Chain A
């Protein structure tokens, strides 16, 4: 019997359908025209046409961050592919599961400097978890299956599948594998039992414990386990920028974010603890500052991570545990519950007393009586008006830090930002991706006037899909974080950090068919936010808050300094 043969283009679309993809973000072009012709004919998933390929990848990335599913984007060869690279690197640095399909010139033209040819596999090699060039249509379905499998398992990451145009025309029998196994790729999920026992024992011996969680808790769906463990032990907890929402921020056991712009209590407790449990975090430079300074205080460290190469990379660890963070934490909790021993109460009490002294310094205080709009105030009001229930995306800079510090995230997957690569231009397309996934959710993009202009063209995509997201622009006229560093470390020489010909954002929003509002008085902040989420609930509202141009992000640990060397105000 003759099985039905499909073209490569039909196979790509069938694979996505059979993988359960519901949203595909992309931009057509010559090399992917066959695939787009098949996209046109199907109805299993929606294709969202962006206005720049970078935005397609950011949207797919944020879609993945918000839903936990693999995000999918498609771009054409050459410039389409290179435009996607920033988005791919962004996802790579934050370990986001994503599959990017890129068109390629026909196999016979590869290497000939053909029109719109670029070595996509070569150009993305350092910023993907893995990539493939499919040279034979018979390998196409299994390669796409592998791409999804690799992207989603172990430490997640983006996978590129580069498909030459002739492969999309060739035919073969379509058979999408249900599962795939690879001898060279077998991520560990179960932690080592002996190590887990040691970890539980060490936690019980702690006199000044600290629990430090990162993006791995969000990616590994381990928030419930973190909450259970922290409450079971009564230990203080902190989170990295990427881990926010993994433990509810308003909870008294939570000390706030740590790191370069972390709270005093989180950074000091991190520095002075005697037993540190790190979960799905990687001790990066923005988190612990100078590793030599960090190592000055003696402490024993337990580190749970799915990626062995994250363990003992920057900081020596005493008890490494490689495995799925949720599974490992379940095991730790089980052991602690079975054990009659409890952490030493007196020591823990004294430790908390010390922490409360640090906390009493109220390092996130700011001038609430100011006549100008304080950016922190806008975020606090955003939190109030949305009752903490919004998905908040951000760009990169001061506004990002204020959003992280003042929006009290209490659920995972609500805080969506580019932590590792620090990509300006991420916020708006990210908000699109989230709003596509959750059409009825409140989605706010907290941004700056520098960042928003890096992907502002997506306001057009938002119009096409009637995405009612809210742009919260903290407009201080400066590339604020650059200005802050210039103020502190370059004797106030503000080289190219002031933008003196900004567009009229209200007219701009209007031109794209949205609602634009400028707010320049503190008393108008809350009403504007209420209008945005109330009266204009179904519209994209672009809120242009004119904020204090001299406000800085505090606390701050200067680059290369240690956790206890914070600048406070």
Chain B
């Protein structure tokens, strides 16, 4: 979409005005500074998805819409999670982080701050694996997606 002020609120406003749900939404400028790329995760029947696609295309700031789930694609989400890490737990959480291929970005005497990337379901699994009382704070970006192989969306 055009990298214009207000473009994001047009998209968000469309979803709320027409009663579509947004599970997540990410947006940032691309290598072409006049364009932003947005990934929206939403749910609905085929009819609803068709309407969402058409309505998005109708927004003047939207240059192109692609349903990534029409073909094979990759999606990734970044999560930062701060957990209580004391005593035996310190080693346990470090191990768990390694299993999930996460990284510990920040360490204090009582906490770890962990970075984890993957599909949303992988991030969910990590959170389920950690003792819930140890989780102090989580921040998730929502999914960013891209087509696999030669499937390219370029203006």
User: Which parts of B1-27 form the interface with A (CB within 8 Å)?
Assistant: 1-2, 5-6, 9-10, 13, 17
CB-defined contacts of A183 to chain B, threshold 8 Å: 63, 155
Total residue contacts A-B, CB cutoff 8 A: 35
B17 is contacted by which of A126, A150, A185, A307 (Cβ under 8 Å)? A126
Alpha-carbon separation in the docked complex, A185 to B17 (Å): 22
B1 is contacted by which of A130, A150, A184, A309 (Cβ under 8 Å)? A184
Residue of A nearest to B47 (CB): A312
Is A309 within 8 A of B55, CB to CB?
Answer: yes
Residue of B nearest to A316 (CB): B47
CB-defined contacts of A307 to chain B, threshold 8 Å: 58
CB-defined contacts of B5 to chain A, threshold 8 Å: 133
Is A185 within 8 A of B60, CB to CB?
Answer: yes
CB-defined contacts of A182 to chain B, threshold 8 Å: 60
A309 is contacted by which of B9, B10, B13, B58 (Cβ under 8 Å)? B58
User: Is A125 in contact with chain B by the CB < 8 A criterion?
Assistant: yes
CB-defined contacts of B61 to chain A, threshold 8 Å: 184
* Interface-central residue, B54, B57, B62, by most chain A CB under 10 Å: B54
User: Is A483 in contact with chain B by the CB < 8 A criterion?
Assistant: no
1/0 per residue, CB under 8 A from B, across A292-332: the answer is 00000000000000011100110000000000000000000
* Interface-central residue, B50, B55, B58, B63, by most chain A CB under 10 Å: B58
Is B51 within 8 A of A126, CB to CB?
Answer: no
**Would you give the shortest CB distance from B119 to chain A, in whole angstroms?**
30
Is A121 within 8 A of B50, CB to CB?
Answer: no
Residue of B nearest to A311 (CB): B54
B6 is contacted by which of A121, A126, A308, A313 (Cβ under 8 Å)? A121
Residue of B nearest to A129 (CB): B60
User: Which parts of A422-477 form the interface with B (CB within 8 Å)?
Assistant: none
Is A125 within 8 A of B58, CB to CB?
Answer: no
Alpha-carbon separation in the docked complex, A182 to B54 (Å): 18
Q: A184-B1, A308-B54 are in contact. Are A125 and B9 (CB under 8 A)?
A: yes
Q: A125-B9, A125-B13, A312-B47 are in contact. Are A184 and B55 (CB under 8 A)?
A: no
Alpha-carbon separation in the docked complex, A185 to B62 (Å): 8
Residue of A nearest to B63 (CB): A184
1/0 per residue, CB under 8 A from B, across A111-145: the answer is 00000000001100110011001000000000000
Kindly state the interface size class of chain A when it binds its partner: 10 to 19
Alpha-carbon separation in the docked complex, A184 to B54 (Å): 14
Is A184 within 8 A of B60, CB to CB?
Answer: yes
Q: A126-B13, A184-B1, A313-B51 are in contact. Are A308 and B57 (CB under 8 A)?
A: yes
**Would you give the shortest CB distance from A195 to chain B, in whole angstroms?**
16
Is B60 within 8 A of A125, CB to CB?
Answer: no
User: Which parts of B45-67 form the interface with A (CB within 8 Å)?
Assistant: 47, 50-51, 54-55, 57-58, 60-63
**Would you give the shortest CB distance from A266 to chain B, in whole angstroms?**
27
**Would you give the shortest CB distance from A153 to chain B, in whole angstroms?**
11
A130 is contacted by which of B55, B60, B155 (Cβ under 8 Å)? B60
CB-defined contacts of B51 to chain A, threshold 8 Å: 309, 313
CB-defined contacts of B155 to chain A, threshold 8 Å: 183
Is A312 within 8 A of B50, CB to CB?
Answer: yes
CB-defined contacts of A125 to chain B, threshold 8 Å: 6, 9-10, 13
CB-defined contacts of B6 to chain A, threshold 8 Å: 121, 125, 133
A184 is contacted by which of B2, B9, B50 (Cβ under 8 Å)? B2
Alpha-carbon separation in the docked complex, A126 to B155 (Å): 27
Alpha-carbon separation in the docked complex, A64 to B49 (Å): 34
CB-defined contacts of B54 to chain A, threshold 8 Å: 308-309
Alpha-carbon separation in the docked complex, A312 to B48 (Å): 10
CB-defined contacts of B58 to chain A, threshold 8 Å: 307-309
CB-defined contacts of A150 to chain B, threshold 8 Å: 60
Alpha-carbon separation in the docked complex, A150 to B59 (Å): 11
Alpha-carbon separation in the docked complex, A539 to B58 (Å): 45
Residue of A nearest to B17 (CB): A126
Alpha-carbon separation in the docked complex, A307 to B54 (Å): 9
Alpha-carbon separation in the docked complex, A307 to B59 (Å): 12
Residue of A nearest to B62 (CB): A184
User: Which parts of B106-155 form the interface with A (CB within 8 Å)?
Assistant: 155
**Would you give the shortest CB distance from A160 to chain B, in whole angstroms?**
12
Alpha-carbon separation in the docked complex, A182 to B10 (Å): 18
Alpha-carbon separation in the docked complex, A145 to B155 (Å): 24
**Would you give the shortest CB distance from B10 to chain A, in whole angstroms?**
6
CB-defined contacts of B63 to chain A, threshold 8 Å: 183-184
CB-defined contacts of A309 to chain B, threshold 8 Å: 51, 54-55, 57-58
Alpha-carbon separation in the docked complex, A354 to B94 (Å): 80
Alpha-carbon separation in the docked complex, A10 to B104 (Å): 60
- Known contacts A133-B5, A312-B50; 18 additional CB pairs below 8 A are A121-B6, A125-B9, A125-B10, A126-B17, A129-B60, A182-B60, A183-B63, A183-B155, A184-B1, A184-B61, A184-B62, A185-B60, A307-B58, A308-B54, A308-B58, A309-B54, A312-B47, A313-B51
Identify 28 residue pairs between A and B in the complex whose beta-carbon atoms are under 8 Å apart, listed by A's number.
A121-B6, A122-B9, A125-B6, A125-B10, A125-B13, A126-B13, A129-B60, A130-B60, A133-B5, A150-B60, A182-B60, A183-B63, A183-B155, A184-B1, A184-B2, A184-B60, A184-B63, A185-B60, A308-B54, A308-B57, A308-B58, A309-B51, A309-B55, A309-B57, A309-B58, A312-B47, A312-B50, A313-B51
The 8 closest A-B pairs by CB, nearest first: A309-B54, A184-B63, A130-B60, A126-B17, A185-B60, A308-B54, A309-B55, A125-B13
